[in-house]
Amino acid sequence: MNWVPVKLQQQLEFLHDLHEWLHAGNTPEQGLVGFQRVLEIAARRHELQWLKSIRRALQQGQPMGSGLQACFRPEVITLLNLGQRYGCLASMLDGFKANYELRQGIYKGLLQQLAYPLILLLVSCLACIFIGLQVIPRFVDAGAMSTDEAIGGLPQLVHYLAMVLNVLLPILVMALVLATVCLWHGLPRWRSPLRFAMDDHLPFRIYRQMQTIWLMQNLAMFLKANLSVHASVRQLISAASPYTQHHLKEMRRRLSHGEPDMMKVLNTGLVDSHVWVRLQCQDQNTPLSQRLQGAAVFAQRDLKQLVTRRQRALAWVCYSISGLLILGIFASMGMMFAEFSNL
C-alpha cells in the first residue's frame, strides 16, 4: 500500500474521531466497525485505509500506532500508543493539540506582526538602490549638478549607501533564509554545552519555553492517569526531541538514584527561573499534576508576552531604518531638483 504524508491537523482530527468511536460501542471493536461504516458512506478513502490498518494491527495484538507508521508523524504514533496503553488518549490528544496550536500561533503571530515592517524595509532598500545607482548618476550626467558638486553631500551618501546595499542585500537575504532553515532543523536536535549556554537568548529561549510547556502538560496528563513520575518520564523520552531527551534522561537518572524531591528532579536547566519560581511558590500539598498544569499555563502566558515584546522591538527597528532611508531619498532628490531648477 502506498501511503502519502498527512498534515498534522488531519492526523489529530482522525485520532479524535477514532477515540470517540472507540467508546461509542459496547466494545472497541463495535466502535471501530461503526467508524468504518461511516467512512465508507462518506467515501473517505485515506481515513478508511488508516482505520483498516489499525484494526489489522489490533487483531495481530500490536499497538494501534504500528498500523500508521508509514504516514503519521513519529510523535503522534508515540502519543497514540501511550494513550491506548494507559487509557488517556483523549487528554493526550487535547494536550498535544493545545501545544501544537500554541506553536502555530507564535509562528503565525511572528509572521503577521513582522510581515509589513519587513516588506517596508525591503522596499525601502530597493528604492535606495534604484535612486542611488540609477537616478542620481543620471542627474549628474544631465548637468543638474556641477562637476565639483557631482554626487556630493547627501546625494553622495545615498549613492554610496546604494552601492553597499546592492552588494549586501542579497547576502543578507540569503543569510536570513539559511539561518531560518538551520534553526528550524537545529533547535530540536542540537545538544552541546554551547547550546545550553545560549538557552537564555533568542530564539533558543522561545524553543526552550515551548519544550517546558510540552513537558509539564504531558507529565500532568500522565500523573492524572495514575502513572508514576518515573514511568511518565520514561515514556516521554521516546516522544521528545533530542534536545528535550537530554533533560528527560537526566530526570530519569535522578529518579533512578532515589531523589525524593520532585523540584530537584525537574531542575535540569530546561525550566527557566520564572516558571521555576512559580512551581516552587505553589502549595506543596496540592497534587503535583495540578501544580504542573498551573505552571504550564503560567509558562504559556510568559512565552506570549516574551514574543510580543520582541515583535514590537523588531518592528520598531524595521520602521526606524525604513524611515531614515525614505527620508534620505526624499531629501537627496529635493536637493537635486533644486539644483536642476537653478540651471
One-character DSSP codes across 38-52: HHHHTT-HHHHHHHH
Overall residue count recorded for the chain in this entry: 343
* Digit-coded pLDDT (tens) for 264-309: 888 888 888 888 888 888 777 888 888 888 888 888 888 888 888 8
Give burial (CB, 10 Å; 0-12/13-18/19+) of 216. buried
**Residue-level pLDDT at 343:** 57
CB of 208 closer than 8 Å to CB of 199: yes
CB of 213 closer than 8 Å to CB of 303: yes
**Residue-level pLDDT at 175:** 93
Confidence of residue 147 (pLDDT cuts 50, 70, 90): very low
Tell me 283's DSSP state.
-
Q: Please report where in the chains the cell 496528563 appears, as a residue.
A: 221
Separation between Cα atoms, residue 303 and residue 208, nearest integer Å: 10
pTM summary value:
0.76
- Residue 176 zone, left/alpha/beta (φ > 0; ψ -120 to 50; rest): alpha
**Residue-level pLDDT at 51:** 86
* Digit-coded pLDDT (tens) for 192-222: 888 888 888 888 888 898 899 888 888 887 8
Q: Does residue 28 have a pLDDT over 70?
A: yes
Query: Residues near 172 by Cβ (< 8 Å), separated by ≥ 6?
Result: none
Question: What is the CA 314 to chain-centroid distance, rounded?
Answer: 18
Calculate mean pLDDT across residues 134-150: 63
Confidence of residue 148 (pLDDT cuts 50, 70, 90): very low
Name the grid cell of 198: 545560549
Q: Does residue 4 have a pLDDT over 60?
A: no
Tell me 27's DSSP state.
S
Separation between Cα atoms, residue 102 and residue 88, nearest integer Å: 21
CB of 220 closer than 8 Å to CB of 296: yes
